Chains A and B, each alone.
Chain A
Amino acid sequence: MLTAETAAIDVSGVPLITAPGGQPVTLGSFGGVQILVLLRHRH
């Protein structure tokens, strides 16, 4: 069973792009508690 790891990884400056808008954004723009769901590949 997968267990959670505690961490302290600053991702605030990671450059991402809105979908479908295509606008640049950083994760630091989103304050408070955020759940990140990172997808694996699409076919």
Chain B
Amino acid sequence: MHHAAAQVTSGASPRPGLILVGFSPPGPLAAIARHLDWPGLVLTDPRRVLYRRLGIGRAPLRRVYSPGTLATYATAVARGERPARPVEDTRQLGADAIMIDGVVRLLWRPRTPNDRPTASEVITAARAWPA
């Protein structure tokens, strides 16, 4: 989704705002945003109030730790690496939404960790919203 930033900032008006929301502490979340070159606002929701309000679910374990993921970990261990322990709820899913004046009007709720809309789909929908 970080490709969204370039698309929004380089396109024609009207330009929707971009708000990145996570549930990490402010410092680590800001570091992620810098890594993504995120040009918009960055907000954290440590108690995941927004996630619950939007009905964003948690992935089943078999989706988070798929055979491919487990194979990646196994390869790393075989190389002598020690995978880092997760520091947060690894099952929490993300989401994308379009908010108009504080009300979410369009929502993409994934069922799996990688089930997200394309950036262009979200941006096109936001730009199509009547001003």
Contacts and interface: CB of A to CB of B under 8 A. Distances in A.
Interface in A1-43: 2-12, 14-22, 25, 27-28, 30-43
Contacts of B53: 9, 11, 14
B8 A8 contact: no
Contacts of B93: 40
A18 B26 CA distance: 7
User: What bracket does the count of chain B residues touching chain A fall in?
Assistant: 35 or more
A33 B91 CA distance: 29
Contact of B27 (A19, A37, A39): A19
Interface string B1-41: 10010001000001011111111101111101100000001
Contacts of A31: 101-102
Task: Give the interface SS of chain B, mostly helix, strand, loop or mixed.
Answer: mixed
Contact of B103 (A8, A16, A43): A8
Contacts of A9: 53-54, 103-104, 107
Nearest to B125: A4
Nearest to B21: A38
A33 B129 contact: yes
A8 B105 CA distance: 5
A36 B113 contact: no
3 A-B pairs with least C-beta separation: A12-B102, A20-B30, A19-B26
Interface of B: 1, 4, 8, 14, 16-24, 26-30, 32-33, 41-46, 49-51, 53-54, 56, 84, 86-111, 113, 115-117, 121-123, 125-126, 129, 131
